[in-house]
Amino acid sequence: MNGNYQRLSDAIDRLENLSMILTMPLPATKHVEQLRAAMPGLIKDFKAGYIEATGEDPWQNWKEKSQ
């Protein structure tokens, strides 16, 4: 696999694992805790993977405006 897509592939795998966990009979609070813990890292990796694959950072303007 092209190195540029490895981060995206890994993030997709983690997202798929999270979706599988949601089918387990656990209290809703446990599911929410897991999603809250995982989402920031997934978002970071999806954005970084997109930037690596395309060479574009559509979030750059937003970052600059928020600082």
Q: Are 20 and 30 in contact (CB under 8 A)?
A: no
Q: How many domains does the chain divide into?
A: 1
Greatest distance between any 2 Cα atoms in the chain: 43
Domain, as residue range, for 36: 3-66
Write out pLDDT tens, residues 28-40.
999 999 999 999 9
Contacts of 42 (CB under 8 A, 6+ apart): 11, 14, 15, 18
Q: Give the mean pLDDT of 2-11.
A: 82
pTM for the whole structure: 0.77
